[in-house]
Amino acid sequence: MLKTDNTSRNLCIAFVLLLLVGLILPNWLAFLTTIALAKAMVVVGLVMLMRAGLVSFGQGLYYCLGGYTVGIAGQHLGITDAVGILFVSAFIAGCLAALLGLLLCRYREIFFAMLTLAFSMILYGVLVKTSELGSTDGFNVAKVTLLGWQPSPGQLSLVVYSLACLVAFLTAFFMHRYYQSGMGFAGEAVRENEIRVEYLGVSPQRVVFIKYVLAAMLAAVGGSITAMIAGHVDPEMAYWTTSGEFVFVALLGGTGHVVAAFIGAFLFEVIRTIAFDLAPYTWQMILGTTLLLVIFFLPKGLWSLLKAKKVGGNNV
Amino acid sequence: MSSILETKGLTKSFGAITAAANINVTINEKEIVGVIGSNGAGKTTFINMVTGYLKPTGGSILFRGRDITGFSPRQVTRTGICRSFQVAQLFPELTTLENMLVAHAMLSKKRLGMQAPMKSQTNIDTAMAALSGYEIESYADAPVATLPQGIRKLLDIAMAMASGPDLLLLDEPTSGVAIEEKFGLMDTVMEAVKRSGAASLFVEHDMEIVSRYATRVIAFYDGHIIADGPTEEALNNPEVREYIVGSELHLQKPEDDQNAEN
């Protein structure tokens, strides 16, 4: 009855491979992969909400919050330790999400989506008007350190890349287990039938609240890593198009498996880079077409391709 | 027999319409009570009030002596009352087994785990045992959306019973089920209820089912209780015959037919 699940083992292998490959990757590709991993963290949280039937169009709020936490900690407070900052930004995002979550957990469908979008746009509006934080231009982020060690500019991208790999691995590992847990299935139960959940003695609101806070913390970590590798933050991170991009990636990858978000995020970055190269003025057309094709032919995302192959393999 | 559920002067009105007025009911341990009444008589309103779906306008509900008036459905579930629905309330995209596993995980005393797998062998064994108690274990791997009505009804009841409640409220357990399957379904359910030792109360329109399974009948008419007593006595009550059963109780039909032939 129980199918053997090799995901944990495969994730460990993928983690080691990513670390090794990092040593030989050209700079541009290492940068692209780090950004993809960082965005995938946000998408994993978003997918968790989508599995519960909720689409957030405002994960940019926490993505931006994470980025600005790194910026402010380095520039204004003199805190540059990468690991410490990740914890701090997750904590701050968690606190804000706990506050907003009290309201949001009562809403579903389009109302949930619009409210999350509204909150992210409030942050955008505030940042744009705050000249101390560079208004629309944002500001540069101080170079991070690792447990007191200051990597040279040449080493920095490798350090952030490795950190991103580690954080992404831990996220994928624990989120995969989370999807299989009682709380993970509670999300699907809420999506399918809230009345039944209520009569099983569990509050659907509480389930949504917990997921919203977890997703926010993941998004903040993703934003922090982006700030560390890009060396710059600006209010665009909270803009609705950034949040929309996460939804795009989630649809591209699919919600079937935790790894789907990572595959989706990586492909998204690759497609965008190529599209930008091919058509500097109309690259959005290529992205839009890709999304349309995915929705038409793979409504459950790229992951459904892998799943179909697996099922086919078992039958042979 | 000691009473487990007691309602005192329970009333519910929606604006000018009174859906239930002054409902005084006592349910004893291990009792099987049939609730009858025409549409709009207040049967489902009564169940909805007891299970916290509707807040009563007046009166009180006592469960094992504890006042549970105004409790939310999940608080009511936690105190030991569970219910099934007229239209089975399930998780359609999950399989039968997954539905049962979710029910067990949510109803257990522990908090929902975030890392422990829900589909552990122990949990699966427990869920499969629960499914076989309702003879639906062969549907374990089928998505609920593909199940026939009767199986959905059984799963709905099996999930409600997963908490091991003291009182089970069944809202029209046989509605939407084919005539030839009704008795089989009720046999399975009643056997499982008896095994668990819970009291049960079921709303039903089919008088054959009421007279076969209920030991006591409560008859609702226009938001009031017009009869409450042992099944035969209640079904033969003149008011019940006039307003609910119809003057010719169709249970007696076979005899009538025989008489006609003679």
Residue A185 to residue B105, Cβ atoms within 8 A? yes
Task: Please give the interface size between A and B, counted as residue pairs whose CB atoms are below 8 Å apart.
Answer: 97
Give the per-residue pLDDT at B1. Answer: 58
Question: Among B78, B90, B114, whose Cβ lies nearest the Cβ of A201?
Answer: B78
Q: Which residues of A216-253 are buried (b: 16+ CB within 10 A; e: fewer)?
A: bbbbbbbbbbbbbbbbebbbbbbbbebbebbbbbbbbb
**Interface contact B174, partner A, CB < 8 A:** no
CA distance A12 to chain B (A): 17
**Interface contact B73, partner A, CB < 8 A:** yes
State how far the Cα of A194 lies from the Cα of A205, in Å rounded to an integer.
9
Side chain identity, residue B103: A
Q: How far is CA B228 from the centre of its chain?
A: 17
Answer whether residue A108 is part of any domain: yes
Neighbours of A150 (CB within 10 A): 11
* Sequence-separated contacts (24+) of B134-140 with Cβ below 8 Å: B134/B158, B134/B188, B134/B189, B134/B192, B135/B188, B136/B96, B139/B96, B140/B95, B140/B96, B140/B97
Question: Per the structure, how many domains does chain A have?
Answer: 1
* Token representation of residue B184: 């089989």
CA distance B65 to chain A (A): 21
**Interface contact A183, partner B, CB < 8 A:** yes
* Residues of A with Cβ-Cβ distance to B95 under 8 angstroms: none
Question: Among A1, A188, A203, whose Cβ lies nearest the Cβ of B91?
Answer: A188
Which of the four pLDDT bands, split at 50, 70 and 90, describes residue A132? confident
Give the per-residue pLDDT at B160. Answer: 87
- Assign A103 to helix, strand or coil: helix
CA distance B162 to chain A (A): 9
pLDDT tens figures, A264-298: 899 888 888 888 888 888 888 888 888 888 888 88
Question: Among B77, B117, B124, whose Cβ lies nearest the Cβ of A199?
Answer: B77
Residue A180 to residue B98, Cβ atoms within 8 A? no
* A140, containing H or E segment: strand A139-140
CA distance A174 to chain B (A): 7
CA distance A190 to chain B (A): 9
State how far the Cα of A126 lies from the Cα of A129, in Å rounded to an integer.
5
Q: What is the DSSP letter of A94?
A: H
- Assign A224 to helix, strand or coil: helix
* Residues of B with Cβ-Cβ distance to A193 under 8 angstroms: 89-92
Answer whether residue A173 is part of any domain: yes
Residue B159 to residue A193, Cβ atoms within 8 A? no
CA distance A63 to chain B (A): 24
Give the per-residue pLDDT at B256. Answer: 47
CA distance A207 to chain B (A): 10
Residue A183 to residue B114, Cβ atoms within 8 A? yes
A224 or A305, higher pLDDT = A224
Domains of chain B: 3-90+165-261 (3.40.50.300)
* Token representation of residue B63: 């469960």
Place of tokens 């509670």: A186
Answer whether residue A9 is part of any domain: no
Answer whether residue A276 is part of any domain: no
* Token representation of residue A30: 């290492």
Answer whether residue A19 is part of any domain: no
Q: Which residue of B has its CA nearest to A207?
A: B112
A183 or A152, higher pLDDT = A183
Q: Any bridge partners for residue B219, and if so which?
A: B36, B227
* Residues of A with Cβ-Cβ distance to B105 under 8 angstroms: 182, 185-186
* Residues of A with Cβ-Cβ distance to B73 under 8 angstroms: 198-199
Q: What is the DSSP letter of A3?
A: P
Q: Any bridge partners for residue A234, and if so which?
A: none
Instruction: Name residues whose C-beta falls within 8 Å of residue B179's C-beta, 6 or more positions apart in sequence.
Output: none
Q: What is the 3-state secondary structure (H, E, C) of B155-184?
A: HHHHHHHCCCCCEEEEECCCCCCCHHHHHH
Q: Any bridge partners for residue A137, and if so which?
A: none
The closest alpha carbon to A39, from A214, A217, A218, A212, belongs to: A218
Instruction: Tell me if A187 sits within 8 A of A52, measured CB to CB.
Output: yes
Side chain identity, residue A25: L
CB half-sphere exposure, B4, CA atoms < 13 A: 19
**Interface contact B89, partner A, CB < 8 A:** yes
**Average pLDDT for residues A76-94, to the nearest whole number?**
88
The closest alpha carbon to B155, from B121, B197, B127, belongs to: B127
* Residues of B with Cβ-Cβ distance to A195 under 8 angstroms: 85, 89
**Average pLDDT for residues A89-104, to the nearest whole number?**
93
Give the per-residue pLDDT at B262. Answer: 42
Tell me which residues of chain B have a pLDDT lower than 50. 252-262
Is residue A313 pLDDT above 50, yes or no? no
**Which ipTM score applies to this complex?**
0.83
Cα R_g (chain A), whole angstroms: 19
Is residue A178 pLDDT above 70, yes or no? yes
Q: What is the DSSP string of chain B?
A: --EEEEEEEEEEEETTEEEEEEEEEEEETT-EEEEE--TTSSHHHHHHHHTTSS--SEEEEEETTEE-TT--HHHHHHHTEEEE-SS----TTSBHHHHHHHHHHHHSSSPPPSSSBTT-HHHHHHHHHHHHHTT-GGGTTSBGGGS-HHHHHHHHHHHHHTT--SEEEEESTTTTS-HHHHHHHHHHHHHHHHHHT-EEEEE-S-HHHHHHH-SEEEEEETTEEEEEEEHHHHHT-HHHIIIII-SS-GGGHHHHHHHHH-
Chosen from B85, B95, B118, B121 to mutate, greatest number of chain A CBs within 10 A: B118
The closest alpha carbon to A69, from A87, A56, A46, belongs to: A87
Side chain identity, residue B242: E
* Helices then strands, each counted (H, E), chain A: 13, 2
The closest alpha carbon to A41, from A290, A236, A218, belongs to: A218
Task: State the greatest distance between any 2 C-alpha atoms of chain A, in Å, as a whole number.
Answer: 64
Which of the four pLDDT bands, split at 50, 70 and 90, describes residue A315? very low
Percentage, residues of chain A above pLDDT 90: 38
Cα R_g (chain B), whole angstroms: 19
Answer whether residue A117 is part of any domain: yes
**Interface contact A8, partner B, CB < 8 A:** no
Domain of A211, in residue numbers: 28-238
* Residues of A with Cβ-Cβ distance to B124 under 8 angstroms: 1-2
Residue A174 to residue B115, Cβ atoms within 8 A? yes
Answer whether residue A301 is part of any domain: no
Give the per-residue pLDDT at B247. Answer: 56
Answer whether residue A294 is part of any domain: no
Chosen from A199, A209, A218 to mutate, greatest number of chain B CBs within 10 A: A199
Is residue A20 pLDDT above 70, yes or no? yes
* Token representation of residue A88: 């701090």
